């Protein structure tokens, strides 16, 4: 929403409460003291700079990871007001912003028409959780500096240190996170650039520049998208096969709120709708997403009937049929967003639902009329999806009936555990019969269950649900976990609180792991989100020291061992298959909870994970090779 150059002075800064609680309970303000909370500090400062851009006062943002571990965010906006604050005449407005929670121009209504900063608690929290923060303001022809240390303690008053360079205006915030607060204080460049790229997509034409000055990690990346969210849709669909080349887009504004939508279908089966409010990712959806989905269903059904693609006796297409393979961005901006819940992940403004619905009904109908070839492809794809959905429902009904007849409905190949306390129960999904036999003998029969699967399971990235449900290995997985599938999946019904993928440490094993993780991500997403999915890490090597067998997890462990025992360089054995281990070895290295090493699988960003699955499991070999080469070394292991 273009700004109208509204006034932005000291009187626009509204004060709500003090800063004291932040250092005592940082998790309440930034979510956690782990990597997510650490990176949220950058998000808070960048959001302020983006707000200046949304107000029409800034066109460029520079984010720099400094060589000494700090971060600097600079914008070319108006600069935070430096005059004394009306309520606190002895303190500048800039100092109030940096030392008081919920202080800023976003609460009074004049400084910003819309802003993203409302979802957090402002740059004051960044100050509270940093060992040092330096604020530089170019405003009124002068360069002002204000410095804080020890989590918000003012080092001195706001000072003019000279003229602003070349008539520049804007704000620069440099900060160094406090290691006494955070579990780690090293920023991850990829996490930062992913967020910056999204902000650039959502703010058409905004120039965001990233620089990493840290030793050994130097890099520069620029993000600017003159196509805005149309470019975002193309980016998300780059790893997929688009149904057609065009991207539909439209926008509409009224009464201090506006909506911007872009959408395109791909030939896949998965729905990807990503919604934002004032630049904030509303991962739980809300009124804007509801309005879009309802109107999309109406528009497609109306078009299908007007072109006789749906006959009079035919049922309407279901929303899920229509949204199969869609990639859509729904971005709204409004003056006073109402976010639901502590995480602020769901938008509650009813007026936005009406706006998005009206815009979609009107503008998307026009687009369909003007692009009949593409519109027909959308309807035909939805009709195929409808047939598949009805077939899948029939298959599910058969599966449920069969389960009801044969008792517990558990697969015959499952070697179950005796405990019925799901919190302590573990399911090992083991590839190969020989490994399954060893695992059966190696397990603790009270708490550990074994499900052997044969060969490579169906690639669920390329298969519809009805075909998937006919696959014997998939059926066994669904029945063993016991919580259903896809939209029917109920995480409260899972029979095991650890589902552990146990596959060989070779290329085939990696492929099987990827297929299983893709299946869980696509069809049992709540299992992954809840942290119930793990990958076992069997050792890569074994060697004899005297009469004792020593196992080494990976090449790093092998190198460390050889540094101490160079004489063992030649009796080394590479363990290619789990079947090579007897049950004693398998228990010692991989199954015993006191000795094993597990990698916990998590899904941090649905859009990113969707992209990864599509690249790894899709048809584009070149894109997959590039992804693997780029990311092979960027893996973090969690030992449990």
Every domain of the chain and the residues it spans: 10-223, 229-388, 408-538+577-631, 541-574
Instruction: Tell me which of 434 and 583 has the higher pLDDT.
Output: 583
Mode of pairing for the β-strands spanning 426-431 and 498-502: parallel
Q: What percent of the chain has pLDDT over 90?
A: 40
For the domain made up of 229-388, the CATH class stated in words is alpha beta
| CATH code for the part of the protein at 408-538+577-631 | 3.40.50.670
Total H helices, total E strands in the chain: 21, 24
For residue 448, list its beta bridge partners: 426
What is the structure's pLDDT at 108?
42
Packing angle between helix 189-202 and helix 229-236, nearest 10 degrees?
Answer: 130
Mode of pairing for the β-strands spanning 153-154 and 130-139: unpaired
Instruction: Tell me which of 402 and 310 has the higher pLDDT.
Output: 310
Listed residue (197, 33, 15) closest to 93, CA to CA: 15
Separation of CA 360 from chain center:
26
Mean model confidence pLDDT for the chain: 82
Mean pLDDT in residue range 255-274:
92
DSSP state of 560: H
**Residue range 48-70, pLDDT digits in tens:** 899 888 888 999 999 999 999 99
**Residue range 124-143, pLDDT digits in tens:** 899 999 999 999 999 999 99
pTM over the 0.75 mark: no
CB of 113 within 8 A of CB of 55? yes
What is the structure's pLDDT at 633?
44
What is the structure's pLDDT at 316?
93
Mean pLDDT in residue range 620-637:
55
Is the pLDDT at 107 greater than 50, yes or no? no
Give the active site residues: 431, 504, 506, 508
Residues 422 and 428: their CA atoms lie apart, in Å, by 14
Mode of pairing for the β-strands spanning 207-212 and 60-65: parallel
Topology of the domain covering 10-223 = Heat Shock Protein 90 (3.30.565)
Least confident of 56-65, 329-338, 363-372, 462-471: 462-471
CB-side exposure of 258: number of CA atoms within 13 Å? 15
What is the structure's pLDDT at 403?
46
């Amino acid at each position: 929403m273009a700004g109208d150059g509204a006034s932005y002075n000291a009187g626009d800064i509204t004060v709500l409460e003090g800063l004291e609680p932040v250092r005592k309970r940082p998790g309440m303000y930034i979510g956690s003291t782990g990597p997510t909370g650490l990176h949220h500090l950058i998000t808070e400062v960048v959001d302020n700079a983006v707000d200046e851009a949304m107000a029409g006062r800034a066109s460029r943002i520079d984010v720099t990871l400094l060589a000494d571990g700090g971060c600097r965010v600079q914008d070319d906006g108006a600069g935070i007001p430096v005059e004394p604050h009306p309520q606190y005449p002895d303190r500048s407005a800039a100092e109030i912003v940096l030392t008081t929670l919920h202080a800023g121009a976003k609460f009074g209504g004049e400084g910003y028409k819309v802003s993203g900063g409302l979802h957090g608690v402002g740059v004051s929290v960044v100050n509270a959780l940093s060992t040092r923060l330096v604020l530089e303001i170019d405003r009124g022809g002068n360069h002002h500096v204000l410095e804080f240390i020890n989590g918000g303690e003012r080092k001195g008053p706001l000072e003019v240190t000279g003229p602003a360079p070349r008539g520049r205006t804007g704000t620069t915030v440099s900060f160094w996170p406090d290691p006494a607060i955070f579990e780690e204080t090293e920023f991850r460049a990829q996490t930062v650039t992913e967020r910056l790229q999204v902000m650039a997509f959502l703010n058409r034409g905004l120039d965001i520049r990233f620089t990493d000055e840290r030793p050994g990690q130097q890099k520069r990346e620029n993000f600017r998208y003159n196509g805005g969210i149309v470019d975002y849709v193309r980016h998300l669909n780059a790893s997929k096969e688009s149904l057609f080349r065009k991207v539909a887009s439209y926008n509409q504004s009224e009464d201090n709120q506006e909506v911007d939508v872009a959408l395109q279908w791909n030939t896949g089966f998965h729905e990807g709708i990503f919604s934002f409010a004032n630049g904030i990712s509303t991962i739980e959806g809300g009124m804007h997403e509801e309005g879009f989905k309802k109107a999309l269903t109406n528009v497609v059904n109306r078009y299908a009937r007007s072109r006789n693609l749906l006959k009079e006796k035919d049922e309407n297409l279901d929303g899920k049929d229509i949204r199969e393979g869609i990639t859509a961005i729904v971005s709204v901006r409004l003056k006073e967003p109402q976010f639901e819940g502590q995480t602020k992940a769901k938008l509650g403004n009813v007026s936005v639902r009406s706006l998005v619905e009206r815009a979609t009904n009107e503008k998307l109908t026009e687009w369909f009329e003007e692009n009949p070839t593409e519109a027909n492809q959308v309807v035909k794809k939805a009709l195929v999806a409808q047939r598949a959905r009805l077939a899948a429902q029939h298959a599910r009904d058969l599966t449920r009936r069969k389960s009801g007849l044969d008792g517990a409905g558990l697969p015959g190949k499952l070697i179950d555990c005796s405990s019925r306390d799901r919190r302590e129960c573990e399911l090992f999904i083991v590839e190969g019969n020989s490994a399954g036999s060893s695992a059966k003998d190696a397990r603790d029969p009270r708490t550990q269950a074994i499900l052997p699967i044969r060969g490579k399971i169906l690639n669920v990235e390329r298969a519809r649900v009805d075909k998937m449900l006919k696959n014997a290995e998939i059926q066994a997985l669904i029945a063993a976990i016991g919580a259903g599938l896809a939209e029917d999946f109920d995480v409260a019904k899972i029979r095991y609180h650890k589902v552990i993928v146990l596959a060989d440490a070779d290329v085939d094993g990696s492929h099987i792991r990827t297929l299983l993780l893709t299946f869980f991500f696509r069809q049992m997403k709540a299992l992954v989100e809840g942290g119930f999915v793990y990958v076992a890490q069997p050792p890569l090597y074994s060697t004899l020291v005297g009469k004792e067998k020593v196992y080494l997890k990976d090449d790093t462990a092998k190198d460390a061992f050889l540094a101490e025992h160079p004489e063992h360089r030649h009796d080394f054995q590479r363990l290619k298959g789990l079947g090579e281990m007897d049950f004693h070895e398998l228990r010692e290295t991989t199954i015993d909870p006191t000795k094993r090493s597990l990698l916990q699988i998590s899904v941090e960003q649905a859009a990113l994970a969707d992209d990864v699955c599509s690249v790894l499991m899709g048809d584009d070999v070149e894109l997959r090779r590039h992804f693997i080469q780029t990311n092979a070394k960027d893996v973090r292991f969690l030992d449990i």
